Amino acid sequence: MKKEIYILLTDTGTWFTKCIKLYTKKTFNHASLSLDKDFHQVYSFGRKNPYNPFFGGFVKENWRNPFFRHTTCAIYACTISNNQYNDIQAFLKELNECKHQYRYNLLGLFAILFNIELERSNAYFCSQFVAATLEKGKVNGFGKPVSLVTPFDLGRLPQLRKVYEGKLSSYINSVDERHKINRFYFA
């Protein structure tokens, strides 16, 4: 049986994202991984508090937070085997159980600007985390170390197919509306 995971590339419009965008010239500069299409299990390395950009690490993201109402995104699906899904889930569980030991890899983010491979113990930036997680699930194809993978690289993986691009809030609202209808008719 096959499962699907989702890669979410976003532009939150924050000053930090705008700074990154000045350099990359890419639309989307943050990456997350979701185990479900409704985005109830979304993980990344980023802000622990959406309003504080200086405290980062492993996070379970809540894209329903009003902070993200103007966020634009591209959503990609990836079909994987049960074994791959279980490997990814086990890695995420391990990170979650020890999340206090993990931090945001800000040095790695600067190293990538100069194409310098910098692997740090227990530290990731967002796309490095997503790439490492995919690698744990044997979803490969980057052609470079995970410490050099950008959100743009993630969107170019041949195993992914784009399922949505636009305002994240519109996607989330359609998901939530679908659930309300299902609860009403099938309760």
Q: What is the pLDDT of residues 135-176, one digit of tens each?
A: 999 998 899 999 999 999 999 999 999 999 999 999 998 888
Q: Say how far apart CA 128 and CA 91 lie, in whole Å.
A: 14
Chain position carrying tokens 């659930």: 179
What's the one-letter identity of residue 72?
Answer: T
What percentage of the chain has pLDDT greater than the value 70? 94
**Over the chain, what HEC string results?**
CEEEEEEEEEECCCHHHHHHHHHHCCCCCEEEEECCCCCCCEEEEEEEECCEEEEEEEEEECCCCHHHCCCEEEEEEEEEEHHHHHHHHHHHHHHHHCHHHCEECHHHHHHHHCCCCCCECCEECHHHHHHHHHHHCCCCCCCCCHHHCCHHHHHCCCCEEEEEEEEHHHHHHHHHHHHHHHHHHHC
For the chain, list the domains and their CATH numbers: 2-186 (3.90.1720)
Q: Say how far apart CA 177 and CA 142 lie, in whole Å.
A: 36
Neighbouring C-beta atoms of residue 131, cutoff 10 Å: 28
- pLDDT tens digits along 96-115: 999 999 999 999 988 998 99
| Confidence band for 179, pLDDT divided at 50, 70 and 90 | low
User: What is the model's pTM?
Assistant: 0.91
